[in-house]
Amino acid sequence: MIDETNAFAKTTLLRVESLSVAFPKPAGGEKTVVNRISFSVKEGEILGIAGESGSGKSMTALAVMGLLPDNARCSGEGIFFDGRNLCAFGTKAKKEEEKLRQELSGKEMAMIFQEPLTSLNPVLTVGKQLEEPLLLHTKLTEEERHKVMLSALAQAELKNGEQLLSAYPHQLSGGMRQRVMIAMAMINKPRLLIADEPTTALDAVTEREIVKLIRKLAKENRMSVVFISHDLAVLRELCDRVMIMKDGQIVEEGPVERIFEAPERTYTKKLMKAAVKGPKEGTEEATRSREENVIVAENICVTYKGTRGLFRKKEEKQAVKNVSFSVKRGEIFGIVGESGCGKSTLLKAVSGLLSEYEGNIRCDSGVQMVFQDPYTSLNPAKKVGWILEEPLRLKTTLSKEERQARVREMLKETELPEDAAGRRVAELSGGQRQRVAIAAALITKPELVLLDEPVSALDVTVQAQILELLLRLQREHNLTYVFVSHDMAVVRKICDRVMVMKDGCVVECGETEELFLQPQQEYTKKLLG
Amino acid sequence: MNYFIKKTIALLATLLVAAFLTFLAFEVIPSDAALTKLGMDATEEEVEALREAMGLNRSLPVRYGDFLLGAVKGDFGDSVQYGIPVTRLLANRFGVTIGLALLSFVLIVGISVPVGILAARAKTKTGEGFFAFLTQIMMAVPPFFLGMLITLLFGIVLRWFAPGSYVAAGDDFFGFLRFMVFPAMAVAIPKIGMTVRFLQSSLKEQMQADYVRTAKSKGCTKRRVLWAHVLRNAMIPVVTFLTMVMAEILAGSIVIEQVFNLSGIGRLLAVSISGRDYPVVRAIVLYTTAVVVVLNYGADMLCRFLDPRIKEM
Amino acid sequence: MAGWFKKDGKWNVNRIIGFSLVVIALVFSLVGCFYTPYDPNAMHGDLKNAEPSLSHWFGTDNFGRDVLSRVMKGAGTTFLVGLSVVSIGAVGGCLLGAFTGYFGGKADLILMRVNDAVAAIPSILLALVFVGIFGSGTLQLIAALGILFVPSFARVVRSGFVVQKELDYVKNARLMGAGHLRIMFVHILPNIRSSLFSALAIGFNNAVLSEAAMSYLSLGVQPPDASLGRMLSEAQPYFFRAPWNALAPGFMILFCVLGVGLLSIGGGESHD
């Protein structure tokens, strides 16, 4: 972290004065997504902007870079970069503004984005794309450009530079693509780097490497960074100063230590509390009552046989290798691992969605499931009431009135408004949708519920609410959960027992707190960071 | 190289299947070629003898083999109506149809690409609405009615060309062009509407893509973003679309040849169907299908060149 | 109702024009079913190719038949053919596309290859061959075009199903115990309605244009029945002497197809 006295001596590189961004609404009028915010970034400083979805943090970044969508309306006093006003909001001719932008973008200021795959042009080689900022902003010869490109790739810790230059983006891994993006942004040694959720699409281990790389490059080149993320842990590791945004406004701003250790505003405190997840409360008494097994799975193997073409040979991939576990009645059993470790496949086998597996699964109860993304797990063409009634129609002989009464009861239990039954899924927020999904799973009163990353698509504060709801429902109805997640903190907060998986195998399995405090395997330690 | 071999094998297989279907279609026709040839008055023995001579009594696979062999050698038998070999009948007319199709294609590509780019850049609601209306009206005119309107306007009122005065390209190339541009317009205009709309939506989709943001963040001008980044991505689906359009052009020329009194393949097809001249119909269908299949093959190759993501089938 | 004609608070001119054209064409042909000013097939030897006048609004044709009456009757025939063709194509395509898309497997691969092959060949060429084999006439035409329209609908529905069946709500429905048919037609089908609607509009237009082209080539609707394409074909020889004979049915087709086309533009966006 930076020495405070030194930081004040530094000059301001970027200054944003009362910036607003608004979009036209389909029904007429405007929706303001960024509301008169002002902030500045000093030379060599790393500023983090945190906030949940819809807080306006990404729009702020795009406005600074001049990349807002065409229908956005931007207003305010100015965005000053090194004393020059980048957009004078109408007072300056548009052409002139565009020219200044083109001169600075890619040379003095650069940006990296969330999705490295779509952010790279799919039909051009890495070399062609890496070369573009050099062609646009320098007068280097072809040979010199080649040399600069290779050194930029090396700086981004990419090996085999020569080979990479002739590769296409789809041939690289996610982490490599993001490194290419970083190399491209850094190639002209910009003074300001804007990073918009650059690690969100990556897995935990790659995320840490990319964050370290950005910090290293920033310090080596005395470059300022504006780093946007919803992940507070990442910001804490990386930034000098943090700014919390909500509903288009800045809630709180200050040095990273101060914000994390002594937050002043209620919203910041709420955010911190939701993000830092401690151990589960009241585990002791719950453990005693659990005796009987609900699920016993022995030596489960799942092999995917991909058939691509009519006459093609089948490709085989073993997704789950010889996994055995059991779940007791009334417990919350967690399965954790990175993407591709086979945890979701295992869950599918248990639920019956996947019938082609080897081994034995004994399941003494009807199964319902809650999926990760409530946007796709609820039928968008139907109303909430219809969706909730459907399982009753299929599994019970209740009359229409009885079904509707049960729907109302369930809405109340999942803390949804009563009129939600008449609305379509598209009219609900992400958290409300996940509540509907939970209600649909519980409406037939099953004993066992499988939860496949049920909170991963949600914002942190909503996450906390949904976890609370799940815990309450589990206690009240003595439910058994199998909870699959990649998020160690969430698992620790909710699960009684945890199984860690990697490449289709079980790494270790045990009581949650024991496993978190004394992990036996290297891989578990690595996952815990 | 693997890709080319696979695609070529697929091409040959498709051609074989298409040939078989064409062959089969005319086998199920409830009519007897021998009877048709001899007329109703022929005796049982005469018909039987001719059937034997024509090879109609042999088994289906044998006749298919014969048909294939004939097709490869360019021998489709004799036309019932004209009494001359089908191949010779077609040879005279290929030039007209191919000339019409090529000229229409040039018009379509030449007009659609700039207009499509213009339409994709339209920002206001009025501009978008205008292009939507324009393309819709182009697609709504029946091609033969369009041909009649063009004849009326350019042939009778303005006298820019004399209706029915076709000039062969070999005799006078510019005279050929001056005449052919009008039927070509009639073929092209509905397809231009379709192509403009397709290209516009493809371009718009690509302009929303994340890599466009990246390009702008590197300091690319709008022009460079369009030409160096967007266009190539947007053209990939358009290439496949244009192949389909080319097939439609061939179909469209059937009616347009009728309107402009051109003696091409399409006109011959219409006449042959009315006259139940099946050897001619069969040959034309087979040739047209072969052209379409080969065009698709070409489009696949071009797409592979444009899009590095296509590696395998 | 007014909101339906507006977009972002502005009048959607294209939709208004489209709606008016479709209404006019519909009224025209519906009235034609019950009432025409003259008998559409009655000939008057002394009134050949008469110019438009108060008694004959669109003039008369080469046999002295009233063009207005024939257009009214012909529009009805043309629309009937268009609707029948689209119905056959849509029902067949929905079933085929739903089953192949939902179940996948080898049957799907083979069927889609065949579908691609059929779609690659221009539909009018196939329709011509079909009519060549089974003879010409209105019913044959409907059957030929209807069958030929199945692949394009099947393709639209199949691609919708391929995407939708992977979504979690389908897995959820399976866990709830919904059967395959219920999942296909109650859960999934409503989700592809917007692409199905635009396919219906495009299909109807193509059917009308194909009918016109086939009848123009004398291979569709047979005389003395009036159809718009048939009328155009009969009018062509006298086009320079009596252009009204061709202009009336030609613009009728144009207005109808343009109307449906304009209505279908952005028809799917109205929900957002």
Mean pLDDT of chain A, nearest integer = 87
ipTM (interface predicted TM) = 0.82
Cα(B13)–Cα(B34) distance, integer angstroms: 32
Q: Which amino acid is it at A489?
A: A
Output the CA torsion sign for A240, A241, A247, A248: negative
Asked if the Cβ–Cβ distance from B215 to A105 is below 8 Å, we say no
| pLDDT of the residue at C268 | 40
The Cβ-side half-sphere exposure at B58, using a 13 Å CA radius, reads: 11
Tokens representing residue A203 in the block? 């897995």
pLDDT along chain C (272 residues), means of 10: 63 85 88 80 72 76 81 88 94 93 84 73 75 80 89 90 91 90 93 90 90 84 80 83 84 91 65 34
Q: How many residues does chain B have?
A: 313
Asked if the Cβ–Cβ distance from A132 to B218 is below 8 Å, we say yes
Whether the predicted pLDDT of A284 surpasses 60 = no
Tokens representing residue A426 in the block? 């598209």
Cα(C256)–Cα(C249) distance, integer angstroms: 11
Lowest mean pLDDT among A200-204, B86-90, C76-80: A200-204
The Cβ-side half-sphere exposure at A93, using a 13 Å CA radius, reads: 3
DSSP A305-345: EE--SSSPPPEEEEEEEEEEEEEETT-EEEEE--TTSSHHH
Under a CB-based contact definition with an 8 Å cutoff, are residues A221 and A192 in contact? no
Cα(C117)–Cα(C151) distance, integer angstroms: 10
Total beta-carbon pairs less than 8 A apart between chain A and chain B: 81
Whether the predicted pLDDT of B106 surpasses 90 = yes
- Summarised one tens digit per residue, pLDDT across range B188-234 is 999 999 999 999 999 999 999 999 999 999 999 989 999 999 999 99
Question: CA A256 → CA A4, B25, C219, distances in Å?
Answer: 12, 78, 81
- Asked if C242 has any chain B CB less than 8 Å from its own CB, the reply is no
Cα(B181)–Cα(B161) distance, integer angstroms: 10
Interval A381-389 mean pLDDT: 93
Give the rounded percent of residues in chain A with a pLDDT score beyond 70.
Answer: 93
Whether the predicted pLDDT of A280 surpasses 60 = yes
Burial of A209 (0-12, 13-18, 19+ CB in 10 A): middle
Phi-psi region of A160 (alpha: psi -120 to 50; beta: other; left: phi over 0): left
pLDDT band, very low/low/confident/very high, at A4 (cuts 50, 70, 90): very low
- Summarised one tens digit per residue, pLDDT across range B38-81 is 666 667 777 777 767 666 667 778 888 888 888 888 777 778 77
For chain B, domain boundaries: 87-249
Cα(C121)–Cα(B251) distance, integer angstroms: 9
Under a CB-based contact definition with an 8 Å cutoff, are residues A49 and A243 in contact? yes
Under a CB-based contact definition with an 8 Å cutoff, are residues C261 and C15 in contact? no
pLDDT band, very low/low/confident/very high, at A206 (cuts 50, 70, 90): confident
The 3-state secondary structure of A262-299 reads: CCCCHHHHHHHHHHCCCCCCCHHHHHHCCCCEEEEEEE
Q: How many residues does chain C have?
A: 272
**Which has the closest alpha carbon to C105: A313, A318, A310, A349?**
A310
Lowest mean pLDDT among A266-280, A323-337, C36-50: C36-50
Task: Compare CB distances from A377 to C8, C113, C172 and report the shortest one's residue.
Answer: C172
| Helix (H), strand (E) at residue A506 | strand A505-511
Asked if the Cβ–Cβ distance from A136 to B219 is below 8 Å, we say yes
What are the backbone dihedrals phi and psi of residue C22, each rounded to the nearest 5 degrees, phi first? -65, -40
Asked if the Cβ–Cβ distance from A181 to B214 is below 8 Å, we say yes
| pLDDT of the residue at B124 | 79
Which residues in chain A have Cβ-Cβ distances shorter than 8 Å to C168? Answer: 371-373, 376-377
* pTM exceeds 0.90: no
For residue A69, cis peptide bond before it (omega within 30 degrees of 0): no
Q: Compute and round to an integer the Cα radius of gyration of chain B.
A: 24
DSSP A356-417: --EEEEEE-S-EEEE-S-HHHHS-TTSBHHHHHHHHHHHH----HHHHHHHHHHHHHHTT--
Under a CB-based contact definition with an 8 Å cutoff, are residues A391 and A442 in contact? no
| pLDDT of the residue at B300 | 84
pLDDT band, very low/low/confident/very high, at A14 (cuts 50, 70, 90): very high
Q: Which residue of C has its CA nearest to A373?
A: C168
Looking at per-residue confidence, does B26 or C152 come out higher? C152
Dihedral (Cα; A516, A521, A523, A525), 10-degree rounding: 40
Residues 228-257 of B with CB under 8 A from A: 228-229, 232-233, 236
Dihedral (Cα; A182, A187, A193, A194), 10-degree rounding: -50
Chain B interface test: which of C114, C202, C209 (most B C-beta within 10 Å) = C209
> For residue A514, how many other CB atoms are within 10 A of its CB?
12
Burial of A288 (0-12, 13-18, 19+ CB in 10 A): exposed
Chain A interface test: which of C4, C103, C176 (most A C-beta within 10 Å) = C176
Cα(A12)–Cα(B240) distance, integer angstroms: 53
DSSP chain B: -HHHHHHHHHHHHHHHHHHHHHHHHHHSSSS-HHHHHH-TT--HHHHHHHHHHHTTTS-HHHHHHHHHHHHHHT---B-TTT-SBHHHHHHHHHHHHHHHHHHHHHHHHHHHHHHHHHHHH--SHHHHHHHHHHHHHHHHS-HHHHHHHHIIIIIIIS-SS-TT----TTT-HHHHHHHHHHHHHHHHHHHHHHHHHHHHHHHHHHHTSHHHHHHHHTT--HHHIIIIIIHHHHHHHHHHHHHHHHHHHHHHHHHHHHHTT--SHHHHHHHHHHTT-HHHHHHHHHHHHHHHHHHHHHHHHHHHHH-TT----
Measured in angstroms, the CA of B9 and the nearest CA of chain A are apart by: 13
- Asked if A485 has any chain C CB less than 8 Å from its own CB, the reply is no
- Asked if B218 has any chain A CB less than 8 Å from its own CB, the reply is yes
Q: Is A86 helix (H, G, I), strand (E, B) or coil?
A: coil
With tokens 């003074």, the residue in question is: A191
The 3-state secondary structure of A147-203 reads: HHHHHHHHHCCCCCHHHHHCCCHHHCCHHHHHHHHHHHHHCCCCCEEEEECCCCCCC
Q: Which domains does chain C have, with CATH numbers?
A: 80-230+260-264 (1.10.3720.10)
Task: Compare CB distances from A368 to C109, C175, C272 and report the shortest one's residue.
Answer: C175
Asked if the Cβ–Cβ distance from A394 to C177 is below 8 Å, we say yes
Mean pLDDT of chain B, nearest integer = 83
Cα(C128)–Cα(C221) distance, integer angstroms: 13
| pLDDT of the residue at A313 | 53
Say which CATH class B87-249 falls into: mainly alpha
Whether the predicted pLDDT of A138 surpasses 70 = yes
Looking at per-residue confidence, does B76 or A9 come out higher? B76
Under a CB-based contact definition with an 8 Å cutoff, are residues C155 and C115 in contact? yes
Interval A198-210 mean pLDDT: 84
Looking at per-residue confidence, does A50 or A94 come out higher? A50
Which residues in chain B have Cβ-Cβ distances shorter than 8 Å to A118? Answer: 209-211
Q: Which residue of A has its CA nearest to B208?
A: A69
The 3-state secondary structure of chain C reads: CHHHHEECCEECHHHHHHHHHHHHHHHHHHHHHHCCCCCCCCCCHHHCCCCCCCCCCCCECCCCCEHHHHHHHHHHHHHHHHHHHHHHHHHHHHHHHHHHHHHCHHHHHHHHHHHHHHHHCCHHHHHHHHHHHHCCCHHHHHHHHHHHHHHHHHHHHHHHHHHHCCCHHHHHHHHHCCCHHHHHHHHHHHHHHHHHHHHHHHHHHHHHHHHHHHHHCCCCCCCCCCCHHHHHHHHHHHCCCCCHHHHHHHHHHHHHHHHHHHHHCCHHHHHC
Q: Which amino acid is it at B76?
A: F
Which residues in chain B have Cβ-Cβ distances shorter than 8 Å to C213? Answer: 142-144, 255
Whether the predicted pLDDT of A310 surpasses 50 = no
Tokens representing residue B130 in the block? 């205008």
- Asked if C271 has any chain B CB less than 8 Å from its own CB, the reply is no
| Helix (H), strand (E) at residue A464 | helix A460-477
